[in-house]
Structure 1
Amino acid sequence: MKSSLSSVALVTLLVSSTHAFMSVLVGNENTHVTITSQAVMAKIYEVCEAVAKYEGRPFKPTGPSAEELLYACLGTKTGKVSGARFRTALNQIYTQNVIVDRDFMTSAPHHFNNEAFGEGHDLIIHGIKAILDHVRTDNLQSARETLGRVCHTLQDFYSHSNWVELGNKSPYANLIRPDLNIENIADRTMPTCSDCASGNCPNPLLPATLNGKYLTSGYMGFDSPDKPQGKCSHGGDADLSSAQIPRGGISKDESHSYNADLHNTAVNLAADATTELLEGIRAAIGNNDFLRLMGITRSVVLAFVIDTTASMAVYLDDIKKVTGDVIDKKKGTQDEPTEYILVSCNEPEFGPLIRTTNPDVMKAEIFHLKASDGGKGMCLSSLRLALTGAPPSSHIYVFTDDSPNDIGLEKSITTLIRSTKSTVSFIVPLWLRRRMALVAQPRSEFQVYHDLALASGGQAMEVSRTMLTQTTDIIADTCTSKLVTILQRSRNPGRVESFPFLLDKSVSNATIYITGSNLLFTIRSPSGVSQTNTEPNGKLGTNVRVGNLERFQLKATEIGMWYIDMRSTQPYTIKVTGQSTITFIYDFVEEFKGPHPGFAIINQRPPAGLPAKLLLTLTGDKGPEVLEVQEVSLVEVSGNTVSTGTVEKMNNGEVLVTVKEFPEGEFAVLLKGMDKISNCPFQRQTTTQMSPSKLNIKVIADGSMHPGEKYELHYTLTTNGASGLYTVRAMNDKDYIMEHTSKLNLVSGGSAVGIVSLSPPADTFIIGKDVTLIIEAEGPGGTDYNYAVLRLPVVSKVADFTPPQCKWFSQQGHCISYPCDYSTWEVSVNIMDDITGVESVTALQGGGYLIQTPAEDGGISMVMGHYKSSCCRLSAALRIIDKAGNTDICTYIYERDPNAS
């Protein structure tokens, strides 16, 4: 009943606006994104409620915001967590939904234009299969992105076809069914529309089309007015074919006086169809995996990169203690990481990447590390593996005692830091004599670690062996979803300067980190109390020096403006963090035109010479509605330049910020706002540094990458900088065989096209996983560079959409009426797939257990199972998956003996 009520509320909300099926998020208009988000949130609500009921706990969101839904879904025992990761996961779905209107603007199948029903159906079916494959291999980001694109195509069917005009009141089930085709499509020679000279006819479809229930869609003429004779046009200013007889169009993208009813029905059906799609995915992967797919998680991902070359032997035991203590400290708390990642680095080997959700498994993996022969470690290669394997905004800690042997990867690591917004910290254990010698040098051999740490907002700590275990608390500080950065600055050379930062009511565990040598500073509170760093325990807090880092932890959060008064002339970095649920996520975006204009995320350095545009999403206990953005600036981290932008409120609580000019150096985003509930101002800063570029790399990954086949894509390099020969580098994190254009000759204001090809191996185990491709372009003399980072999933080419089958037999048992737990029943089951074989079988519900026995039938794997349950539960459900990724639910209901007492 609640699901039905949610659906009604969703439809009511959607039809209340005047526009839909557009990409721009302005004012109160409905868009593809709002259609998708309302369906997604309604399905999350339903699944969270079911999980809570199954776990025997209450489910009572305290309000309508996504954050309040997150808290209720996780349960009160977890305490408050930040909604930033939840919002980030949802945005991965929504932004890919929008991008279809830019990257595939002229593709008829992606929008069901030009009667491309079979091709559009294939996109949806292959997309659903890819989503399930990605979830199966824990590749959740690719699953979300694919879901966003599939939702767009599915929704366009109802706006661009005549399904609504044919009188249909429910979604077309065949669209998401792999075993069914799109039926009764109008023949290509069959006229479908009458002429509409005004272009504003409510229903220009011919009687023969309507009476025969023939399915058609409008033709879209971007470059030519030509279309098959007698066919309907899409309509609108961008459609040149709409001026050719029959004129007009049947698109229901926007609501007008002549098509309002049709438009509203299309919106409702698109919403219902999206809900049905989500329900099918939920049924296939189960409630828990569905919530993970939607970003419902407790905390952060914690990743370790550990050098295991011979020189590290003396430090490994201490590193194992540090990492083990961090894991134990967070185990069982609300801040327990949702996943752990480990990558070892040696020379010439590095990796593999080990991931687990079990803290004890991670401790065991770290415990078994041993130092072995090798020169300088390949720690940047290992870090690259961690950055591509971990989700965005992860915290990665690198332990190494030597400079990297793969220093050539520095620029690519910076690229990945910027694209993932992950934070990287380096812990470099050194003998005291060597550490003192390095400090005396103007530029130590470890400078690359300091530069990468600063670029990501992390720390670069050079510590003695005796201090190594003291880094435990520093690492533990970051193991919370509520970690926020309030201020970050760097000075080289150092100088006397005062740095203000604002603490608000929501902040707890405020901590100041300052790295450098010969540090002298004073902390001042809003009430005027001060404490120098020479006082280890004073009125304001406790100060501990760990190598080249001082950690000043405030005893209390006094609301107001604080100051760090630096008196050091040596280089130093400052970072102020705390714990709060109030924060923001952001992306640089660019506006695109066309029949469905919108904003697309810039997945590279933003363009120099143009105003910067950012889309911000605020998050807090009660959602963005109770938070107000007052000022957003681009702040030079190593300088004093501040570029303040103008703020425009968008739909769904988003904010569009336009900054006229970029700072000269690397910058971060600084936001000042107001919590309207507490009437308290707050300040937050991003950690990842960015800078603009005069280069632009445009690449669209079209088609699918299959095992054992070469995959080719084209990119366009454009420059507003110097003319000359541009160098292009390409690499991937899986070391697949690659070929690419390495040099392109450009003139200022011009462009050139290059090619990259990858050849994944024929191994089927890579299906559902993805490869991260990095394309970097560098201008003449290395004065400018930019990058493109793509996640390319590997999908199966096997045309197998038939799920495995199950056969129940040999029921046994005698269930009496009372008490039910005194008796049991059991049943046997055979599960088989004649094409690729059975991959896995999982019991979903019921009070019993399943014993599985692998078997083969004609060389094809199958499973023989025996299910046993108490008579308190009289049903069983198994999720069965074949090796092509097809999923089905196999159910059984115990047939009670009618003669039983």
Structure 2
Amino acid sequence: MASSCFMLSLVAVVMLLHGGHGFMPLFSLNGNSSRTHRDITREAVLRKTAEVCKSIATSEGRPFSLTIDNSLTVEKVQEACSGNSTAVLSTVMYHTSIATMYFSNALVDLVYALSEEHHFDDETFKGGRDVLTSDIFAVKASVKQENFIAGRVALGRACHTLQDFYSHSNWVELGKTSPYSALITPDQTLENLAGPNVATCRNCTNGDCTNNILPDLLQQGLLTSGYFNIFSSEKPAGKCSHGGSFDKTSKRDPTGGISKDTVSSSHGSLHPQAADLAVNATIELLEDIRLAVGDKDFLRLMGLSQSTVLCFVIDTTGSMADDIAEAKRVSFEIIDSKRGTQQEPSAYILVPFNDPAFGPLVMTTDADKFKAEINKLSASGGGDIPEMCLSGLQLAMTAAPPSSEIFVFTDAPAKDADLKSTINALIESTKSVVTFMLTDVLASRRRRSAQGAANRAMSQADAQLYRDLAKASGGQAIEVTKSDLSAATTVIEDSSASAVPQSDGNILVTFNNVPAGEFVLRIKGEDSTTSRAATTSFQRQASTQIKSSSISVTAQVNNTSIEPGASLSIPFTVASMSNGAVNQNASGAFTVKAQNDRSYTSSSPSSVTMSEGKANGTVTITVPSSASSGTDVTLTITAQDASASDINFTVMRFSVVAAVTDVTRPVCEVVSTTGDCSSSVCSSAQWGITANISDGVNGTGIDSVTVNQGSGTLNTSSSTSGGINITVATYSASCCAQSVELRILDKVGNVRLCTGQAKAVTVTAAPLTNTTTNSTAIGLHSVSVRHSLWVSLLLSVVWWY
């Protein structure tokens, strides 16, 4: 079993690097002109972000001069959106966020290498759309929880599957020039699919697959995709293959393939068209998400924010009253001084801890809400001195964006010191900087509790744990008395004012060997940009410590999401490494720890024993049924050798996503129009519409109705008809603006856009009968659902998505 898992991993890694299945994941080989998943995702994100920023600027009456085309860069978009060409931090964060998306995109080829649904192989169009639907709902649920990191990961996965459709199917060969919108709107029917017994291809001729799709299939407009298998050549008779060296089915009649993954693929001449369609389809997907989450949260999802988060982890036991007061003071000062400026934190995170509790985590973009949450903190309790400091820190590190700065306030040792290896793993993987504010480390002080008083002290050994973690992250362990704490917290204000990373560019550095033990990375170079008169030297040093290890920890992840109430098993392998390869002569055991940041129930072996240099184990994690869809859980698996001299880890993030049960968009039906806009003086007249909006009997319900385009006034009220909850929307505007587009959102993120237009001529009144109606007589009152359809047809107002 171990050897087959290793073989599968090896094949997947080779495919990830060499692009055997789908657009090339990250890089084009041999300098060819093929576009990769990275290129496609990056271009779509830049264009859509720029479009949203342009829309916001237009609505606010601001200029926006950036030309939106395929030549956009992160720097250009950031500057156009923020109006600030020197906001280096914002640019770096935008770079990082886009990278998160395209790395998650690329990992689909590794994690789901053999899943036909994730690549639209084997004519699995329904299954592929189900995968897309699940990931899209995961994005929307994550954003709703302000969990933007998990949202980017899910979005990257969705983009890969969507983009593969245009490379793996015959959509391009059918002459289509626009995206297949039904793939991201699951309440639409997938039409013209080639049946299981319909032949789709013929043999390629002497390696030329240009015309291997059967003419009858193209004439009938039937949709197919290639079959793919790296182990077996079996496929249904007459069906197309994907093609390529990894695909064994392409060696069986009909031979060859229809892939457009690269310019050298079977249908490589169509690669540019497939890539263009993949870009446009990704933009269409991003627009759907934008409509569901709104412009502000969409830009946050894209990572276009001006500064890092302000993150506090605070001990709330009885002796911490002075520290809590100081944390309040400094956070309020930062909030008030930076509100509305380029340095305003993009988000605020607060994690209190005590004993035995820690959390709950509060993450918000609302400065006033953050103030209110900090104001709620009070110092109380605390019997024995150690507290759950590292558990609180773990929760903050997995919620904060990578490269964040986190401040911990405590005067007590860590009761959960066994989490040190987990925290070190998170420091290395997130590159976040942790600074500890330690008060009265050497003092023998009296902690008061409800049970009485006792002498306690944080020893030098206790404080050393915090020093070690601060050093590993590039932070500080600041040790002061409580009376001097206000002087020490100036480091927080200074950091928030000047938190600018090493560079906004990408530098690739290679090493001949890796130093033993702990080390930091320092780069020295020369900057000779055209804006400078002379070459200048520069030096940058990474804040996070790196430690080499002879231990490898890898996990076999078959799913990156878990439903509330479900369990997930994650097989892992620990290996002893020598010169980059498994040391098959190694023997002995590894100590194993598996920790998750949500304290969800989990099971794992406490140790594993090597055979031929490797050992296998399984971690099982169970998500409670009460977990909210859109949250996530981070699992860290660490392995230590028998002498406790070497340690390594792997960190995995899983999205918690409820099963998709409502995939139907809300319904919007016109009830009436009012007003007459035939006057030559538009400002002297008004018009309006009334519509009934519902989410059906089995829907999750209407979440919001807002004006997406229009300058009038919208009011909503509720009613019930035939057992269905109805939202009645009434909109009125000046005749100078004679159209409106409403954005209707249900509670799981299904979106419908409804457009209406004023009447240029007054509707002639007619007697009310069983077959006719009069818009003026109906006025702004709601009518029953059974009447609304023919009323809307009579009024000829198109409601469209």
Give the SS at the match of 2:668.
strand
Deviation at residue 432 of structure 1 after TM alignment? 7.8
Q: Which residue identity is paired with 1:160?
A: H
Q: Which residue identity is paired with 2:620?
A: S
Aligned twin of 2:463: 446
Aligned twin of 1:125: 133
Match of 1:755 among 606, 613, 618: 618
Give the SS at the match of 2:643.
helix
> 1:272 aligned to 2:280?
yes
Aligned twin of 1:711: 568
> 1:790 aligned to 2:652?
yes
Asked if 2 retains the 8 angstrom alpha-carbon contact of 1:284 and 1:888, the reply is no
Deviation at residue 425 of structure 1 after TM alignment? 0.6
Give the SS at the match of 2:510.
strand
Match of 1:155 among 163, 166, 172: 163
Residues 1:879 and 1:782: Cα distance change in structure 2 (over 3 Å): farther
Asked if 1 retains the 8 angstrom alpha-carbon contact of 2:411 and 2:441, the reply is no
Residues 1:121 and 1:67: Cα distance change in structure 2 (over 3 Å): same
Aligned twin of 1:774: 636
Give the gaps of 5 or more residues in structure 2: 1-20, 446-456, 578-582, 765-801
Partners of 1:206 and 1:362 in 2: how far apart?
62
Deviation at residue 299 of structure 1 after TM alignment? 0.8
Aligned twin of 1:681: 537
Aligned twin of 1:738: 602
Partners of 1:464 and 1:306 in 2: how far apart?
16
Q: Which stretch has the larger CA shift, 682-691 or 317-326?
A: 317-326
Match of 1:887 among 741, 746, 751: 751
Deviation at residue 306 of structure 1 after TM alignment? 1.4
Question: How many residues were matched structurally?
Answer: 711
Q: Deviations over 1:377-411 (max 9, x none)?
A: 32211111111222222111111111122222222
Asked if 1 retains the 8 angstrom alpha-carbon contact of 2:260 and 2:266, the reply is no
* TM value normalised by structure 1: 0.73
Aligned twin of 1:105: 113
Residues 1:660 and 1:837: Cα distance change in structure 2 (over 3 Å): same
Q: Deviations over 1:580-626 (max 9, x none)?
A: xxx34xxxxxxxxxxxxxxxxxxxxxxxxxxxxxxxxxx2xxxx4xx
Asked if 2 retains the 8 angstrom alpha-carbon contact of 1:796 and 1:884, the reply is no
Deviation at residue 851 of structure 1 after TM alignment? 4.6
> 1:690 aligned to 2:532?
no
Give the SS at the match of 2:465.
helix
Partners of 2:669 and 2:204 in 1: how far apart?
57
Residues 1:859 and 1:671: Cα distance change in structure 2 (over 3 Å): farther
Deviation at residue 769 of structure 1 after TM alignment? 1.7
Deviation at residue 136 of structure 1 after TM alignment? 1.9
Aligned twin of 1:469: 486
1:53-72 maps to which residues of 2 (within 5 A)?
A: 53-61=58-66, 64-72=72-80
Asked if 2 retains the 8 angstrom alpha-carbon contact of 1:392 and 1:420, the reply is yes
Partners of 1:134 and 1:478 in 2: how far apart?
29
Deviation at residue 454 of structure 1 after TM alignment? 0.9
Match of 1:727 among 581, 585, 591: 591
Aligned twin of 1:534: none
Deviation at residue 134 of structure 1 after TM alignment? 1.9
Aligned twin of 1:417: 427
Partners of 1:61 and 1:412 in 2: how far apart?
45
Residues 1:65 and 1:884: Cα distance change in structure 2 (over 3 Å): closer
Aligned twin of 1:384: 394
Deviation at residue 85 of structure 1 after TM alignment? 0.3
Q: Which residue identity is paired with 2:545?
A: Q
Asked if 2 retains the 8 angstrom alpha-carbon contact of 1:697 and 1:786, the reply is no
Aligned twin of 1:610: none
Residues 1:345 and 1:864: Cα distance change in structure 2 (over 3 Å): farther
Aligned twin of 2:515: 663
Q: Deviations over 1:626-672 (max 9, x none)?
A: xxxxxxxxxxxxxxxxxxxxxxxxxxxx5443212212222222223
Give the SS at the match of 2:749.
coil
Partners of 1:818 and 1:330 in 2: how far apart?
49
Q: Percent identity?
A: 44
Partners of 1:430 and 1:656 in 2: how far apart?
44
Asked if 2 retains the 8 angstrom alpha-carbon contact of 1:78 and 1:298, the reply is no
Asked if 2 retains the 8 angstrom alpha-carbon contact of 1:195 and 1:204, the reply is yes
Partners of 2:679 and 2:495 in 1: how far apart?
55
Residues 1:874 and 1:210: Cα distance change in structure 2 (over 3 Å): closer
Partners of 2:77 and 2:434 in 1: how far apart?
31
Match of 1:346 among 347, 350, 354: 354
Partners of 1:214 and 1:766 in 2: how far apart?
41
Give the SS at the match of 1:766.
coil
Partners of 2:469 and 2:760 in 1: how far apart?
67
Residues 1:892 and 1:711: Cα distance change in structure 2 (over 3 Å): farther
Give the gaps of 5 or more residues in structure 1: 1-18, 485-582, 585-618, 625-653
Partners of 1:117 and 1:157 in 2: how far apart?
9
Partners of 1:743 and 1:849 in 2: how far apart?
65
Partners of 1:681 and 1:860 in 2: how far apart?
70
Deviation at residue 775 of structure 1 after TM alignment? 2.2
Match of 1:145 among 130, 135, 153: 153
Partners of 2:687 and 2:487 in 1: how far apart?
57
RMSD: 3.2
Deviation at residue 170 of structure 1 after TM alignment? 3.0
Match of 2:559 among 697, 702, 705: 702
Q: Deviations over 1:795-821 (max 9, x none)?
A: 221421012233454656677969867
Deviation at residue 458 of structure 1 after TM alignment? 1.0
Q: Which residue identity is paired with 2:523?
A: L
Residues 1:316 and 1:786: Cα distance change in structure 2 (over 3 Å): same
Asked if 1 retains the 8 angstrom alpha-carbon contact of 2:108 and 2:118, the reply is yes
Deviation at residue 189 of structure 1 after TM alignment? 3.4
Partners of 1:671 and 1:705 in 2: how far apart?
41
Partners of 2:479 and 2:718 in 1: how far apart?
53
Partners of 2:265 and 2:153 in 1: how far apart?
35
> 1:21 aligned to 2:23?
yes
Partners of 1:859 and 1:725 in 2: how far apart?
64
1:266-665 maps to which residues of 2 (within 5 A)?
A: 266-375=274-383, 376-430=386-440, 433=443, 443-480=460-497, 482-484=499-501, 583-584=502-503, 619=504, 624=505, 654-665=506-517
Asked if 1 retains the 8 angstrom alpha-carbon contact of 2:560 and 2:655, the reply is no
Partners of 1:704 and 1:442 in 2: how far apart?
42
Asked if 1 retains the 8 angstrom alpha-carbon contact of 2:330 and 2:493, the reply is no
Give the SS at the match of 1:479.
helix
Partners of 2:164 and 2:72 in 1: how far apart?
28
Q: Which residue identity is paired with 1:788?
A: T
Partners of 1:761 and 1:845 in 2: how far apart?
41
Residues 1:137 and 1:247: Cα distance change in structure 2 (over 3 Å): same
Partners of 1:126 and 1:270 in 2: how far apart?
19
Q: Deviations over 1:843-879 (max 9, x none)?
A: 4444345455567778876645555556654444443
Deviation at residue 372 of structure 1 after TM alignment? 0.6
Give the SS at the match of 2:55.
helix
Q: Which residue identity is paired with 2:511?
A: V
Residues 1:361 and 1:115: Cα distance change in structure 2 (over 3 Å): closer
Give the SS at the match of 1:351.
coil
Give the SS at the match of 1:711.
strand
The structure whose residues are more often strand, as a share, is 1
Give the SS at the match of 1:124.
helix
> 1:35 aligned to 2:52?
no
The structure whose residues are more often helix, as a share, is 2
* TM value normalised by structure 2: 0.81
Partners of 1:473 and 1:816 in 2: how far apart?
65
